[in-house]
């Protein structure tokens, strides 16, 4: 039986590079979002706008989660042929 220490793997150089690139892209995306939001100035969002923004975000996350669940389900049940 393998212990937890034997299951630990370390990232290769390519893995670290990919991780750094993804963190950089995330930082650029956050910077762009904040800069765009501030560039709007004094634009007000109504209550309906906030509700639509929140609902759209939640629906997007739910659809993404559902699709990923289906990918893992089909992979585990050998339906990917």
One domain for residues 76 and 55: yes
30: in domain = yes
Tell me which residue range forms the domain holding 53.
Answer: 44-81
In a domain, 63, yes or no: yes
* 39 and 49 belong to one structural domain: no
Regarding whether 52 and 25 lie in a shared domain, the answer is no
Q: Is residue 4 part of a domain?
A: no
Distances (CA, A) of 21 to 25, 32, 37, 70: 6, 16, 24, 28
Q: What is the pLDDT of residue 80?
A: 73
The predicted model scores a pTM of: 0.55
3-state SS, one letter per residue, for 7-34: HCCCCCHHHHHHHHHHHHHHHHHHHHHH
Q: What is the pLDDT of residues 20-56, one digit of tens each?
A: 999 999 999 999 999 998 898 888 889 999 999 999 9
Dist CA 81 CA 75 (whole Å): 9
Residue-level pLDDT at 5: 59
CA distance 6 to 15: 20
Q: How many domains does the chain have?
A: 2
């Amino acid at each position: 039986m393998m212990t937890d220490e034997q299951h630990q793997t370390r990232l290769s150089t390519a893995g670290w590079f990919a991780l750094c690139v993804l963190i950089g892209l995330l930082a650029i995306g956050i910077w762009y979002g904040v800069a765009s939001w501030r560039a709007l100035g004094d634009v007000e969002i109504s209550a309906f706008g906030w509700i639509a923004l929140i609902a759209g975000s939640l629906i997007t996350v739910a659809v993404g989660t559902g699709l990923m669940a289906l990918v893992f389900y089909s992979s585990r049940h050998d339906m990917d042929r």
